Structures are given as structure tokens and as C-alpha cells.
């Protein structure tokens, strides 16, 4: 079963890190933890979070949201039908269309903007957008290339990388494209190329907490603990409440024989995680 990181949720669902933490703290989802204590969300978690966010924005009472999400999670199929799912809201309830079948009523609905489809055995979550004839004949923007790259990642890594490159050519400060391009190279084992991408990103797009965090993880894989520490510290300068960064720094300092530094960052990590669950 595939799992998704906090970073994946940010880029796929366009939810902020604070919103994700809030949904976890509210008990809407209960993600697993990875080897570095990072959150590992399931595909069902992704659907539930996107639905929860839309219902919250629609000012549906929290108690009713929770009841609707419990019903949604209990009825989500383990494998996606070829027809895909379309998730809608009807008043304070969630309606799911599965091909020709519907769960719950079908009147007064407004769309949450999320379709879940299966193409060639690969799951995709596609944010529905209203068609705009004015843009149909125009060239793609950086954001459109970025969206296309996201959809391609599970099906064609090479095409996804090229789409991120196209986005950066149009907007060299599109930091999300730099981050994802470097991450794909890292996952493919092309470490040196990924390192070069992160360096270029910092020069051209500026400092970003996730960019610096990913660079630090890569530097650890390269065996450069000192440089990794600097990148983790840089990430915390941009986002002092980046819990995963505190955890990785604590682990790294412990391996470097600096227990006092390790204890301080582990304490910060525990404080942040406990706050998420209050």
C-alpha cells in the first residue's frame, strides 16, 4: 500500500502544514509513523482530509463533519473502481458516486472539487476545475506544468521531471517545482543530480524550509553530516515548528556525539508533536 508524507499532502491537496496538523489533531485522520517518526498517510487519509477541509470551509459543524467522515472512511473501497469516485457534499453529509452508484442522497449538492480516478492501474486524485475557453488555446503556465507533473509522477517519472523543468523555465522562483524535481532525482538514486538541483533552487528561488529539509536528507545520504546539520538548521530558521526537522537533527546530533544538542531538538520535537494532539 502506498503512503504519503506531509510534503506529499501539501503538494497534492494544496493544504498547508498547519491545516494538516490541525486535521490530525482533530482526529479526522490517524496516520502511521515512519522510521523517522514522520507521518505516513494512506490514500484513504488523503481523501478524508480533502473532504474534511472542504466541509470545514463550508462551515459545517465539526460534529457533523466527524460523523460524515466516519461514514465515508467505512465505505471507501480497498481498490478503486475503474469508473473512479466523485465526492460531493449534500448539506452536512458526504455523497460518493461510484460509477452508476451513489451513497446517500443526490440533491442540493455542491462539488468539493475532487475526483479520484484510476488510469492503467495507477491511482490519481485530480482537482476538478471549471473549463475556461480563453485558456484552451494559450500555452501552459508554470502552475499548469506543475499540476501536470503531479499527475504524471505515478505513471511516468521521466515525463514528470520534464514537466517540472518546464515549470521552472517559465518561473525560476517556482520553488515547489524545484523541490519535486530534486525529490524525484533523489528517489531514482541520482544523488549528485538532485544535489545540483537543490543548489540551483536555493540560488534562484530562495530559501524554503521544505527545500532545505530535503537537501539535508540528501546530504545525509551523501555522508556529509556537517552540511546536513547546516541545512536542517536553515530549514528551522524558515520554519521553527518543523517537527520532522527537529527529530532528524536530534538523531544526527546523537550520531555525531553531541548529546546536549540532540536532547534539545528531541525536546522540541516532542513538544510540537504533543501540541498537534491536543
Residue 47: the pLDDT is 75
Helix (H) or strand (E) holding 252: helix 243-255
State the pTM of this model: 0.54
Element (H, E) at 161: helix 157-170
Cβ-contact 92, 64 below 8 angstroms: yes
Q: What is the pLDDT of residues 252-268, one digit of tens each?
A: 999 999 999 999 999 99
Name 130's Cβ contacts closer than 8 Å, sequence gap at least 6.
none
Q: pLDDT value at position 59? A: 67
pLDDT averaged over 10-residue windows placed end to end, the chain, 278 residues: 78 75 78 84 79 69 69 59 51 55 40 48 47 50 89 88 93 92 92 95 92 94 94 93 91 92 92 72
* Dihedral, 189, 16, 21, 188 alpha carbons, nearest 10: -10
248, three cell numbers: 532528524
Distance CA 124, CA 104 (A): 24
Nine cell digits for residue 151: 499527475
SS3 149: helix
Domains and CATH numbers, the chain: 6-129 (1.10.1660), 139-276 (1.25.40.10)
Round to whole Å and give the CA distance between 22 and 19. 5
Torsion of CA 142, 146, 151, 153, to 10 degrees: 130
Do residues 94 and 71 lie in contact, with contact meaning Cβ atoms separated by under 8 Å? yes
Amino acid at each position: 500500500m502506498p503512503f504519503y508524507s506531509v510534503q506529499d499532502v501539501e503538494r497534492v491537496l494544496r493544504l498547508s502544514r498547519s491545516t494538516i496538523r490541525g486535521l490530525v489533531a482533530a482526529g479526522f485522520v490517524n496516520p502511521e509513523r515512519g522510521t523517522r517518526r514522520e507521518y505516513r498517510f494512506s490514500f484513504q487519509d488523503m481523501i478524508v482530509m480533502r473532504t474534511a477541509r472542504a466541509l470545514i470551509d463550508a462551515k459545517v459543524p465539526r460534529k457533523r463533519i466527524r460523523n460524515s467522515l466516519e461514514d465515508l472512511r467505512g465505505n471507501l473501497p480497498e481498490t478503486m473502481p475503474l469508473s473512479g469516485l466523485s465526492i460531493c457534499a449534500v448539506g452536512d453529509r458526504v455523497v460518493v458516486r461510484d460509477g452508476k452508484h451513489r451513497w446517500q442522497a443526490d440533491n442540493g449538492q455542491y462539488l468539493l472539487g475532487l475526483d479520484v480516478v484510476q488510469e492503467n492501474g495507477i491511482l490519481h486524485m485530480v482537482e476538478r476545475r471549471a473549463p475556461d475557453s480563453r485558456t484552451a488555446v494559450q500555452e501552459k503556465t508554470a502552475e499548469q506544468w506543475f499540476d501536470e507533473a503531479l499527475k504524471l509522477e505515478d505513471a511516468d517519472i521521466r515525463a514528470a521531471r520534464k514537466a517540472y523543468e518546464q515549470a521552472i523555465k517559465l518561473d525560476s522562483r517556482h520553488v515547489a517545482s524545484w523541490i519535486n524535481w530534486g525529490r524525484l532525482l533523489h528517489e531514482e538514486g541520482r544523488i549528485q543530480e538532485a544535489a545540483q538541483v537543490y543548489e540551483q533552487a536555493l540560488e534562484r528561488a530562495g530559501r524554503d524550509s521544505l527545500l532545505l529539509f530535503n537537501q539535508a536528507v540528501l546530504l545525509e545520504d551523501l555522508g556529509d553530516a556537517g552540511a546536513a546539520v547546516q541545512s536542517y538548521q536553515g530549514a528551522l530558521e524558515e520554519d521553527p515548528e518543523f517537527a520532522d526537522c527537529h527529530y532528524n537533527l536530534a538523531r544526527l546530533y546523537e550520531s555525531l556525539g553531541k548529546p546536549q544538542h540532540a536532547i534539545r531538538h528531541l525536546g522540541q520535537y516532542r513538544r510540537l508533536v504533543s501540541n498537534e494532539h491536543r
